[in-house]
Structure 1
Amino acid sequence: MSADQRKPVLVIGLGRFGAAVAQTLERMGHEVLGVDTEARLVQEHAGRLTKVIEADCTDAATLQQLGVGDFQAAVVAIGTNIEASVLAVLALSDLGMKNIWAKATNDNHARILERTGAHHVVFPEQRMGERVAHLLNERLLDFISFGDEFAIARLKAPEPIVGVPLVTSECRRKFDVTVVGVKREGENFIHAVPDTIIFEDDELVVSGKIEDIEKFSSI
């Protein structure tokens, strides 16, 4: 979908998380309406987003005035005020919004959001905390968890597999991980094949269970 075909996105709450979502959507080519109840945050983001409004989105009438039906999706990024978060999701759901994303601060908050109409619930602080914990392993350079013990990670090539093709090191059989690709300094990313030889300074993209990836990175 090209940028000019993308419908606008409504972002409710312009704290750190909401602002990051809104600004990223803008860079992707979406029009973004950012809404917050704090005048300070509205002024701060006035020049960064397509449009910014000071309003209370817990009220369905306010959302109707904002033209909620014209939006492709809504992101409820309110974190600390759980009541406002839930009421905003409920109002969006009552107005027929088909794609509601909401930020949760804990499991109980998440369950309430889901029951009041949120289609996707995210835990940004929890996810970031888990990611940082995994990256404390110095051989892991980047890490994405999919929430079911499965992950994709970027890591330094472990010494035992350096200098031989992947078919010889047998990473999948011995370590239960799959080497998806290789990034070599000064060269483009390449997709890994059985004949790919791993060099000492290579960075690997691997997939597998989190526990197996961590073991593999430390061999």
Structure 2
Amino acid sequence: MADYLHSLRRRRHKRVAETHARGAGDQRVAVIGLGRFGTSLANELMRRGWDVLGLDTDARLVQKHSDALTHTAVADCTDPETLRQLGVQEFTSAVVAIGTDIEASMLVSSNLLEAGVPTIWAKAVSRQHGQILERLGVHHVVLPEHEMGERVAHLVTGRMLDFIEFDDDYALVKTVAPDIATGIPLGRSQVRSKYGVTVVGIKRPGEDFTYATAETVVERGDVIIVTGKTHSVEAFTDLS
């Protein structure tokens, strides 16, 4: 812990200078829990240039990922004093990636809220767990297994090539264009008025994606990006 704190203080001055030089916002995040979800998230954030502090009670996991992350420490974050010593209250974002220990997940989330961390994400293992986290005041709750299950189900049962659903029952879908949308400009196809969806992008074989406009003519075999209410895009992609 002492070595980590010394390193953190030394690097903090360097990060402030670097952040000022590039004119970017604070890109520091604490990821608490270095299981599969936390590690995957932390590595992706590192790839995107974020400064990641990885924390876990398991020394073996911390050692395993110490070379890949900006900082790591063995720490029990259910203790608010530990979070204070680590300086987590100075971070703009924190992710509670603890999945198996629901009590620890809630305690850590509560501690982060008490510490005043502006943006807190937390992994939930069930809808009930997620509801409890939301009641605590966690800003963003994710259910990765549930959400991935829903996504794959859409891909397996329909003509979708990819599917992303948002909180307000709104979805973004990648699909092969159904015949009903081909052969005439989108502005004349009545896709939006008839089916309640909007075609926002198009990709022809061998070409890159481009924005779709009212004048765009979709051809058979084109891949399109469609947005709209979930039930509307589901119905649209099921058209033959």
TM-score, length-scaled by structure 1: 0.92
Residue 40 (structure 1) aligns with: 60
Change (3 A) 1:91 1:205: same
2: distance between equivalents of 1:193 and 1:14? 44
1: distance between equivalents of 2:103 and 2:84? 20
- Would you say the 8 A contact 2:158–2:237 is kept in 1? no
**1:49-100 deviations in Å (ceiling 9; x for gaps):** 1111111111011111111132111100101100100110111122222211
Residue 130 (structure 1) aligns with: 150
Q: CA RMSD in A?
A: 1.8
Q: Which of residues 58, 62, 84 in structure 2 aligns to 1:64?
A: 84
Residue 89 (structure 1) aligns with: 109
Is 1:109 matched up with 2:161? no
Runs of 4+ residues over 3 Å off in structure 1: 1-5
- Would you say the 8 A contact 1:104–1:121 is kept in 2? yes
TM-fit CA distance, 1:105 = 1.6
2: distance between equivalents of 1:92 and 1:167? 50
- Would you say the 8 A contact 1:35–1:42 is kept in 2? yes
Matches within 5 A, 1:1-219: 5-219=25-239
**1:32-62 deviations in Å (ceiling 9; x for gaps):** 0001111222122112111111111110111
Contiguous gaps of at least 5 residues in structure 1: none
- Would you say the 8 A contact 1:3–1:28 is kept in 2? no
SS at match of 2:84: helix
SS at match of 2:46: helix
Contiguous gaps of at least 5 residues in structure 2: 1-18
2: distance between equivalents of 1:45 and 1:94? 28
Q: Which moved more, 1:182-191 or 1:124-133?
A: 182-191
- Would you say the 8 A contact 1:3–1:30 is kept in 2? no
What's the % identity of the aligned pairs?
51
TM-fit CA distance, 1:6 = 2.8
Letter in 2 for 1:8: R
TM-fit CA distance, 1:211 = 1.8
TM-fit CA distance, 1:171 = 0.7
Letter in 2 for 1:42: V
TM-fit CA distance, 1:180 = 1.0
Change (3 A) 1:94 1:161: closer
More helix by share: 2
Change (3 A) 1:194 1:77: same
- Would you say the 8 A contact 2:46–2:52 is kept in 1? yes
**How many residue pairs end up in the alignment?**
219
- Would you say the 8 A contact 1:181–1:191 is kept in 2? yes
**1:82-139 deviations in Å (ceiling 9; x for gaps):** 0100110111122222211111122322232233341211111111111111111352
